[in-house]
Structure 1
Amino acid sequence: MKRISNSSFSFSLGDFRLRAEKASLSIEDGRKSVQDGGVPNGWVPGAVSASGDIELDATAMAIMAEEAAAKGSWQGIEPVDLQFYAKGTKEEENVEAFGCLLNLKDIMDYDPTSDKKATVKIGFEVTSPNFVKINGIPYLDPARVEGLTD
């Protein structure tokens, strides 16, 4: 049976289907337990955020550079939706992050002794109340985003 591995993932950045050398997405969930008299007694909601990094090679960066040129600058690129997808024989994983604001992070990491392909790291922050979906299931409780607009 074919299982999902790191090399199984495909990646879409907005309308672009790119090959990412490496990608990450982390969620910070500020829910906390509360105490009465020093004893845990329930919990309260807190702020949430999500961010990550994508490493692209020169071929993928050339596609991104075309988009930046069309927008007039790298900062001119509007927030985009990201999708990470993989499928095995019986397994499937689909992670979506919405309204991701991109920023270039590590644009040069030169090591003349390295045998690895050169990459550029792009950071991103989720800016949409649609936030993140994992296998089609929203991370956020719908009541938390009710009335918010994208």
Structure 2
Amino acid sequence: MKNRINGKSFDVRIMGFKIHFESFNISIEDNSTVATNNGRPNGVLLGDISASGELVVDTANFMLITAAAKAAGSFQELPTFPIDAYAGGGNARGVELMHVHAHECNMKVSDLLSIDPSSSDKTTHKIDFDVTGQDFVYINGVPYAKTTELDLA
């Protein structure tokens, strides 16, 4: 029997680098709502969508991101980049695979330092990001956003 997917299963790539994260999350906000007629449900109204997240890295991995920012000229000049999170596992029922691809992410350093002199934990750095690409987020190869909504002009 293979291992099931957990936080240790994931490889995350950012700007083409495999980065070790202390924590990583991505959240989707979908403002679709129920249409109503005379107070009764009558279909769905598609709303705007957005995705954002945060990653926490140790100093060694933050230095990889710093090197990319230096090559770009500054953190604000970093081009948008994809984030890919992969994991594989399985059990008696079969193989478990998870791949989340967030298109054109824009990074913002949020908590540069959080120092506790009484702690022996690693120093960490928090980076927020927003998904800015029209392709938005793919989950296991399936787009989250309705593909007919894309403006391909």
Q: TM-score by structure 1 length?
A: 0.94
Residue number in structure 2 paired with 1:31: 32
Cα drift, residue 115 of structure 1: 3.2
Q: Percent identity?
A: 34
Cα separation, 1, equivalents of 2:134 and 2:119: 41
Cα separation, 1, equivalents of 2:138 and 2:58: 27
- Please tell me the residue identity of whatever aligns with 1:25: I
Residue number in structure 1 paired with 2:129: 124
Cα separation, 2, equivalents of 1:146 and 1:35: 28
Cα separation, 2, equivalents of 1:25 and 1:74: 20
Residue number in structure 2 paired with 1:86: 87
Cα separation, 2, equivalents of 1:100 and 1:144: 20
- Please tell me the residue identity of whatever aligns with 1:76: E
Residue number in structure 1 paired with 2:5: 4
Please state if 1:111 is matched with 2:116.
Answer: yes
Cα separation, 2, equivalents of 1:103 and 1:145: 26
Cα drift, residue 17 of structure 1: 1.1
Residue number in structure 2 paired with 1:18: 19
Cα drift, residue 72 of structure 1: 1.2
Cα drift, residue 116 of structure 1: 2.1
Cα separation, 1, equivalents of 2:96 and 2:141: 14
Q: Structure 1: state its 5+ residue gaps.
A: none
SS at match of 2:22: strand
- Please tell me the residue identity of whatever aligns with 1:132: V
SS at match of 1:20: coil
Cα drift, residue 38 of structure 1: 1.1
Cα separation, 1, equivalents of 2:86 and 2:120: 28
SS at match of 2:63: helix
SS at match of 1:117: coil
SS at match of 2:135: coil
Residue number in structure 2 paired with 1:100: 105
SS at match of 1:62: helix
Of 132, 147, 150, 2:152 maps to 147
- Which is further off, 31-40 or 111-120? 111-120
Cα separation, 2, equivalents of 1:61 and 1:71: 15
Cα separation, 2, equivalents of 1:42 and 1:91: 33
Aligned residues: 148
Root-mean-square deviation (CA), in Å?
Answer: 1.1
SS at match of 1:111: coil
Deviations 1:14-41 (A, max 9, x none): 2111111110000000100011111111
Cα separation, 2, equivalents of 1:5 and 1:42: 37
